Amino acid sequence: MLNFKEKIAEAISKVTNINKEELESYIEVPKDTSMGDYAFTCFRLAKELKKAPPAIASDIKENLEIDDKYINKVEIVGGYLNFFVNNSILVEEVLKEFENKNENLNIGEGKNIVIDYSSPNIAKPFHIGHLRSTVIGGALYNIYKYLGYNVIGINHLGDYGTQFGKLIEGYKRWGEEYNIEANPIDELTKIYVRINNLCKEDESILEECRNNFKKLEDGDEYCNEIWSRFRSLSLKEFQRVYDLLGSKFDSWNGEAFYSDKMAEVVQKLEETGKLVESEGARIIDLGENIAPCIIGKTNGSTTYATRDLAAILYRARTYNFDKALYVTSYEQVLHFKQVFEVAKLLGLDEKYINGLEHVPFGMVRLKEGKMSTREGNIIKLEDLLNEAISRALKVIEEKNPDLEEKEEVAKKVGIGAVIFNDLANSRIKDEIFDWDTMLNFQGETGPYIQYIYVRTKSVIEKAGYLPKYENINVNVLTDDSSINVIKTISNFEEVLKQVVQKNEPSILSRYLIDLSQSFSSFYNANKIIGEDKEKQDARLYLTNVVGTILKTGASLLGIEMPNRM
C-alpha cells in the first residue's frame, strides 16, 4: 500500500540529508486529527542540526517538495510539522489494497514456529489456568499461520512424573472403590487427594509412590498399563473442552514421549563436566542468580526440566524451529530460565538457543472471590464454558426472544466472551473474571464485536446487494467518521505484525474494539441506505470491508461470528 510515512520521510530526507529510515521513526500519528494525519517532530534533530526545533521546522517546510496529490497541507506547530493527507487518495489506496489482497501476507515464509501451549496435566482437572494457555497459544498459532509462517502446535501434556507414581499406588489400594470409567478426572482426583494425605502421614508410602514412577520409567508392564488407561480417559475428557473452544493441535507428544530421549540429554550434560552431585541429586549449577536446575532426582528418576530439555533437542531436529514458544503462567518463569540456560550446554546451533522464548501470562482472578466446586476451589473449565453459554442464552432471550437458532448463537457468544476476555489485556496482567463485564454487549467485549459484525451483515442484507469496488466514488468517504474507519482498516496488517513481534494477541483484540467503535460512529453519523445511490454504494462497500476484517480478526483470536444475535 501507499506508505504516507515513507513519502514524508523521503521528502524530508532530501532537505536534511538525514537517512530516510531514521526520519521515519520521528513521524507520529497524532491522536487529535486537527494536528494532521502525520506529525514530524523536529526536537530530535535539534542537537544534530544545532538549531531550535521551530526553526528546523520552518527550514524544512520552506524547501520541502512533496507531491500535493498525496499531501495537501503542511503546517508548523511549535517544533512539529503536521502533514494533512489527501483523503480521497487515502480512501482509494486503502480500499484498492483491500480489494487486491487475495494472497496472504507472506512475511513468515520459510520460517518454522513451534508453539507449546495448553499442556494440561493428565488425571487432574483442566482448570481455568489452562484456559489462558489454550486461548493465547491458539491465537498466536492462527496469527503466525495467517502471516505465512509454518506453525506447529504442540500440546505438551503433563502425562509423566511422580504424581503418576502416586496415582498408581492409590489405584492399587482402592481402585475398586471408584468409578473411573464414568467420571475419570473427578475420580482420579479423589484418589490422588487420598493417597497424598496418606503419604503425608507415612513416609514409606511416599517411597512406594516414587518407586512406582521409577518402575513406570523402567517400562514395568503393570504400571504402564494403568498409566496408559488414565491417559486416554483423561484425554477424552479434555477433548470436550477443546471441542467447545475449537482448539486443535498438530502434536500431542506429552512429557512421557520423552522418556526414552532423556538419556541423551544426561549424556551430553555429563560430557560438559557440569553435571554434579548435590545431596544425592544431579544438578547443573547456574551461578548465583538462578537456582540450580535439577536433572536427576535422588532415586534416579527424571524431572520436568529434563523432559523439557529432551523436547528442545527433539523439536530442533524434527521441526528445525526458528522460534519455539512456551505459553504458560508466569509461575514458570524460573523453570524456563533454567531450562534455556541448560539448553546452551546441549551443543545445539545458536539459532535454536536464540529461538527459545517463554511467553508468560498472568493469573486469573475471580471478581466474586472464589468460585468453588464440590472439590475445593478449582473451577473446571468445562463447567465454566457451559455456564458462559447458558448466561449468553439468557441475555439473548431477553434482548431478542424471536431469534432463530438461539442455542447456536449462544454458544458463539458465550465462548467468544470468555476467549475475548482472556485476550483483551496484555497477557502478563492478571485477568479479572467477571461474568457481567465480559457479557456486556456494549462494553469492550467479544459480544460487542460480534454485535457490530452482525450489524454490518444486516445492513448489507437490507440493501440486498454488494456494490463493486470499480463503481465506488471514493470522495463520498472523506468525512471524518469514514476517514477514521479507513485509517483503522489500513492498520490491520501492521497490527498483526506487532502481535507476532511481541507474541501479544491483545494488540489484535484492542484493534478489533477500535475498528468496531469507529464503525459505530460512522454508522451513527451516516445514513447508509436510502440516501442517493452513490453514497449508498460507497458506504455499503465500506461496511462490508469492516465486517470482513472483524470476522477475519475474530477468527484469528479463535472467536466465531454469529450471523444474527
Which residue numbers are catalytic? 124, 127, 130
Q: How far is the CB of 335 from ligand ARG (least distance, A)?
A: 7
- Yes or no: say if 377 and 367 are a contact pair by the CB < 8 Å rule: no
Q: Find the part of the chain contacting ligand ARG (CB under 6 A) among 113-121, 162-170, 213-221, 316-324.
A: 113-121
Q: Which of 86, 112, 303, 328 binds ligand ARG (CB under 6 A)?
A: 328
Closest residue to bound ligand ARG by CB: 158
β-pairing, 150-154 vs 112-116, is parallel
Among candidate residues 42, 43, 44, 45, the one with its CA nearest the CA of residue 61:
42
DSSP string covering 447-499: HHHHHHHHHHHHHHHHHT----GGG--GGGG-SHHHHHHHHHHHTHHHHHHHH
Q: How far is the CB of 530 from ligand ARG (least distance, A)?
A: 56
Q: Which is nearer to ligand ARG, 158 or 296 (CB)?
A: 158
Q: Find the part of the chain contacting ligand ARG (CB under 6 A) among 116-124, 137-145, 204-212, 342-350.
A: 116-124
Gap between the Cα atoms of 421 and 506, Å rounded = 10
Q: Which is nearer to ligand ARG, 332 or 563 (CB)?
A: 332
Which residues does 86 contact at the CB level (< 8 Å), separation at least 6? 68, 69, 70, 71, 72
- Yes or no: say if 400 and 458 are a contact pair by the CB < 8 Å rule: no
Report if residue 119 touches ligand ARG, rule: CB under 6 A.
yes
Q: Which residue has the cell 511481541?
A: 502
Q: How far is the CB of 426 from ligand ARG (least distance, A)?
A: 20
The grid coordinates of residue 235 equal 484425554
Q: How far is the CB of 152 from ligand ARG (least distance, A)?
A: 13
- Yes or no: say if 100 and 519 are a contact pair by the CB < 8 Å rule: no
Gap between the Cα atoms of 149 and 560, Å rounded = 23
Q: Find the part of the chain contacting ligand ARG (CB under 6 A) among 8-16, 112-120, 199-207, 382-390.
A: 112-120
Gap between the Cα atoms of 497 and 108, Å rounded = 10
Report if residue 158 touches ligand ARG, rule: CB under 6 A.
yes
User: In the range 185-244, which residues lie near ligand ARG by CB under 6 A?
Assistant: none
Q: Which is nearer to ligand ARG, 169 or 308 (CB)?
A: 308
Report if residue 121 touches ligand ARG, rule: CB under 6 A.
yes
Gap between the Cα atoms of 172 and 496, Å rounded = 52
Q: Which is nearer to ligand ARG, 108 or 158 (CB)?
A: 158
Q: Which of 92, 116, 208, 537 binds ligand ARG (CB under 6 A)?
A: 116
What amino acid occupies position 535? K
Q: How far is the CB of 253 from ligand ARG (least distance, A)?
A: 10
Report if residue 92 touches ligand ARG, rule: CB under 6 A.
no
Q: Which of 5, 132, 156, 391 binds ligand ARG (CB under 6 A)?
A: 156
Report if residue 308 touches ligand ARG, rule: CB under 6 A.
yes
Report if residue 161 touches ligand ARG, rule: CB under 6 A.
no
Q: Which segments within 131-273 are labelled E, that is strand?
A: 150-154
Q: Which residue has the cell 513468515?
A: 108
Q: Which is nearer to ligand ARG, 336 or 522 (CB)?
A: 336
Q: Which of 38, 171, 326, 523 binds ligand ARG (CB under 6 A)?
A: 326
Which residues does 385 contact at the CB level (< 8 Å), separation at least 6? 241, 244, 245, 414, 415, 418
Q: Which is nearer to ligand ARG, 134 or 482 (CB)?
A: 134
Q: How far is the CB of 192 from ligand ARG (least distance, A)?
A: 15
What amino acid occupies position 137? G
Q: Which is nearer to ligand ARG, 87 or 133 (CB)?
A: 133
Query: Under the rule (CB under 6 A), what is the footprint of ligand ARG?
Result: 116, 119-121, 156, 158, 308, 326, 328
